[in-house]
Amino acid sequence: MTRPRGIWVIALSIAVAIWLSIVPMPAWAAWARPEWVALVLIYWVIALPHRVGILSAWATGLLLDVVEGVTLGQNALSLSVVAYVGLVLYQRMRMYAGWQQAGIVFVLIGVHQLVNYWVQTLTHAQVVPSLLFLLPALVSALLWPTVMVLLRYCRRRFQVY
């Protein structure tokens, strides 16, 4: 059993993802903001399932809740669900081709969005106008190959395992 190393790479990638999820976007793109945190988390769960799991997802989600100013626990819940499904699927995910992985990512982030909107309708009594809330899942799935290649490069370059 080798000593785990490179935790700062994981932490930094998650911090950058959180930053990207509050960086201002033009109004026409507001609905299409990719779920950066979920994307990065899915990558780390698949790559290092023995280190990044539901607990890390929960803590990350809590941080994201605080930064985004939403109900405490909302992202913690949805990201834990994503991490759980990721932990169940990681062996299959590693075998898949890029576009197949993107398909799974679409479903995972769709679930993430769905849980988020459930909590929001619970706490804010807002009507969801359309299926527009699934748009981030589509955009994230399209971005998945790029994010995966980038994070894999980081993981190999800094020897995170």
Q: Which is nearer to another protein, 9 or 15 (CB)?
A: 15
Q: x/- string (CB under 8 A) for another protein, residues 16-45?
A: --xx-xxxxx-x--xx-x------------
Written as six digits, the tokens of 37 are 């945190």
Q: How many CA atoms lie within 13 A of 129 on its CB side?
A: 3
Sign of the C-alpha dihedral computed for residues 16, 18, 21 and 23 taken in this order: negative
Q: How far is the CB of 143 from another protein (least distance, A)?
A: 16
Query: Binding of another protein at residue 51 (CB under 8 A)?
Result: no
Q: Which is nearer to another protein, 9 or 62 (CB)?
A: 62
The footprint of another protein on this chain (CB under 8 A) covers a number of residues equal to 39
Q: End-to-end alpha-carbon separation of the chain, Å?
A: 11
